[in-house]
Chains A and B, each alone.
Chain A
């Protein structure tokens, strides 16, 4: 059974810092990995999706890497801003269209 773990569970940083969120998964036979953002009381917003054949994806200040063989992904946020404050979720799928298995999330607070 696939299990996804995210570390740390919570993180508080001052504005402007670069930071890294970690995600690990137990079964390396994944189809893709996705990072989401969830604001309080809201649904999920997709940030980056990495196919299993890819090593990384970038969007603006966000960079996600994938090391499938070791079962790890990182989300790098550059020059953090208070608006980045949210819960960040990592999820993997094992086949095209199959369910996502989510981690518990990292709650990020960026202090002005």
Chain B
């Protein structure tokens, strides 16, 4: 596609529920990143994919967070047993590693009530 797309754009969930956030990167981009932006805080790195593998998942804050990427394309970030502190905007980005910097999607705003 023309850009990075993310769905849903907004998600409200109850504490304790599981959520899945989806990212569709730019076609052909081999690298994919997830970041989190909490209110009043900077962007926090979560995980990096190169193809389908994740050489850097050191930013995942707890074992309730997981992510996968299939076919070197779409990625899903799953948060289990959501907590109120998980409320944030989750941003996905993709890039051609050998050229330029990452292109960001519009984000998913997650609110845990």
Contact = CB atoms under 8 A, between A and B. Distances in A.
A42 interface: yes
Chain A at the B interface: mostly helix, strand, loop or mixed? Answer: strand
A98 B99 CA distance: 13
Contact of A49 (B42, B100, B107): B100
Contact of A32 (B31, B91, B101): B101
Interface in B37-74: 41-43, 45, 48, 50, 56, 59
Given A99-B33, A99-B48, A46 B97 contact: no
Given A96-B98, A104-B42, A105-B42, A44 B91 contact: yes
A25 interface: no
Nearest to B91: A43
Contacts of B93: 44
Chain B at the A interface: mostly helix, strand, loop or mixed? Answer: strand
A83 interface: no
A74 to B, nearest CB: 18
A66 to B, nearest CB: 14
A60 interface: no
Interface of A: 32, 34, 36, 41-46, 49, 89, 91, 93, 96-105
28 contacts: A34-B101, A42-B107, A43-B91, A43-B105, A43-B106, A43-B107, A44-B91, A44-B93, A44-B104, A46-B101, A46-B102, A49-B100, A49-B101, A89-B42, A89-B43, A91-B43, A93-B101, A97-B48, A97-B50, A97-B95, A98-B48, A98-B56, A99-B45, A99-B59, A100-B35, A100-B43, A100-B102, A102-B42
Given A44-B104, A97-B95, 7 more contacts: A43-B107, A96-B97, A96-B98, A100-B45, A102-B42, A102-B43, A104-B42
